[in-house]
Amino acid sequence: MSRDALLVTHTGRWDMVDRAREVSDLLLSAGFQVRMLEEEAADLGVTDVKAVSPDESAAAGCEVVLVLGGDGTFLRAAELARPARAALLGVNLGRVGFLTETEPEALPDTVRHIVERSYQVEERLTLDVDVTVGERVVARDWALNEASVEKTKRERMLEVALEIDDRPLTSFGCDGVVCASPTGSTAYAFSSGGPVAWPEVQALLVVPNAAHALFARPLVISPESTVAITVADAGHDGVLGCDGRRTSPVPAGARVTVRRGGKPVFIARTHALPFTDRLVAKFGLPVSGFRAGRERHD
């Protein structure tokens, strides 16, 4: 029985052709059937792979979805991997690349881990989101990192009321509200002042963004809780953004409900690197700077 892998790439990078062909050749020589999205295969001129449509069937039956790019490419690949419950493994060709696992120079070693099945798979909590107007659901989406309700015009605040488990908590004017998973705690929620959550933590994060209120602190709540954000009837329209990739209008009076996703995302790890070390490496944290400075003054 053949082993299948879907290769998702960032075709805007000049060096992507060689990287994609290197990965494809390594997998093909190991007996894999390699798939690529039709447009990406055409852009890169790769012809010895199976070209597939960018829909929910793209990763069906795949053992792994190998991602060459940054976090944006990874989130795009997650849309394909999630319905198939295929594991995502990212090679960072972007900048920070927090979701990705390895760097480009480790490509042969990464492919070896895939071939030998010597990798661990982590289950990541996702978010399911509904937008309702009255009793009618007008939009439905999901997110791996975050779902954010934001204002649509810079000069106008978004007036919202926040509920947890159908109980009113507070209301305020703001630029928006970010609801994040632990995986997304280092993304938009982090830049909005939210806490960093270790990936294995089971929780939902709620982070007001530039709120005009005395009580507008980030919240860490149960993964079984439901968050509801209602936009004021007499206020301005908002917009729902999921993972920075998909948007839906949120008209005045609409209610956005966020809960734990029914389908998780699976991420493959080839190295047992503690999350603390990943934080230090990705953010360039000064783990010895203070101590070294003190020793110099002593």
In-domain check, residue 292: no
pLDDT band at 248 (very low <50, low <70, confident <90, very high): very high
Give counts: helices (H), strands (E), the chain: 7, 19
Dig out the tokens for 136 from the structure.
């009618």
pLDDT in the model for residue 81: 98
What is the spatial distance between Cα 99 and Cα 91, in angstroms, rounded to a whole number? 9
132 shares its domain with 77: no
3-state secondary structure of 105: helix
106 shares its domain with 11: yes
35 shares its domain with 113: yes
pLDDT in the model for residue 64: 97
Structural domains counted in the chain: 2
In-domain check, residue 229: yes
3-state secondary structure of 234: coil
- Looking only at the bridges linking them, the beta strands covering 204-209 and 146-151 are unpaired
Taking only the tens place, the pLDDT of each residue in 132-185 is: 999 999 999 999 999 999 999 888 899 999 999 999 999 999 999 999 999 999
171 close to 272: Cβ distance less than 8 angstroms: no
Q: Domain range for residue 198?
A: 127-260
120 shares its domain with 131: no
DSSP notation for 65-77? EEEEE-HHHHHHH
pLDDT greater than 90 at residue 30: yes
101 shares its domain with 46: yes
Name the average pLDDT for the chain: 92
**Count of alpha carbons within 13 Å of 261, Cβ hemisphere only?**
25
pLDDT in the model for residue 200: 93
Mean pLDDT of 216-220: 95
What is the spatial distance between Cα 258 and Cα 142, in angstroms, rounded to a whole number? 9
208 shares its domain with 270: no
In-domain check, residue 50: yes
In-domain check, residue 217: yes
The CATH number for 154's domain is 2.60.200.30
Q: Which of 4, 71, 141, 175 is catalytic?
A: 71
What is the spatial distance between Cα 83 and Cα 73, in angstroms, rounded to a whole number? 17
Angle at 237 between CA 234 and CA 238, to 5 degrees: 130
88 shares its domain with 53: yes
134 close to 247: Cβ distance less than 8 angstroms: no
In-domain check, residue 214: yes
More confident position, 266 or 93: 266
136 shares its domain with 239: yes
Taking only the tens place, the pLDDT of each residue in 68-91 is: 988 999 999 999 999 999 999 998
In-domain check, residue 296: no
The 10 Å Cβ neighbour count of residue 11 is 18
237 shares its domain with 153: yes
Question: Would you call 71 a catalytic residue per the annotation?
Answer: yes
pLDDT band at 289 (very low <50, low <70, confident <90, very high): low
Task: Look at the pTM and tell me if it is higher than 0.85.
Answer: yes
The CATH number for 57's domain is 3.40.50.10330
Residues whose CB falls within 8 Å of the CB of residue 5, separated by 6 or more in sequence, listed in order: 27, 32, 33, 34, 35, 62, 63, 64, 65, 66, 114
84 shares its domain with 12: yes
pLDDT band at 288 (very low <50, low <70, confident <90, very high): confident
pLDDT band at 96 (very low <50, low <70, confident <90, very high): low
What is the spatial distance between Cα 96 and Cα 294, in angstroms, rounded to a whole number? 30
Angstrom distances, CA of residue 201 to CA of 14, 75, 89: 38, 20, 20
pLDDT in the model for residue 19: 86
DSSP notation for 185-225? GGTHHHHTTPPP--TT---EEEEEES-BSSS---EEE-TT-
131 shares its domain with 247: yes
pLDDT in the model for residue 235: 85
pLDDT in the model for residue 295: 54
Taking only the tens place, the pLDDT of each residue in 129-139 is: 999 999 999 99
Residue bearing tokens 């990965």: 23
First to last CA, the chain: 66
110 close to 89: Cβ distance less than 8 angstroms: yes
In-domain check, residue 17: yes
pLDDT greater than 60 at residue 251: yes
In-domain check, residue 294: no
52 close to 24: Cβ distance less than 8 angstroms: no
171 shares its domain with 105: no
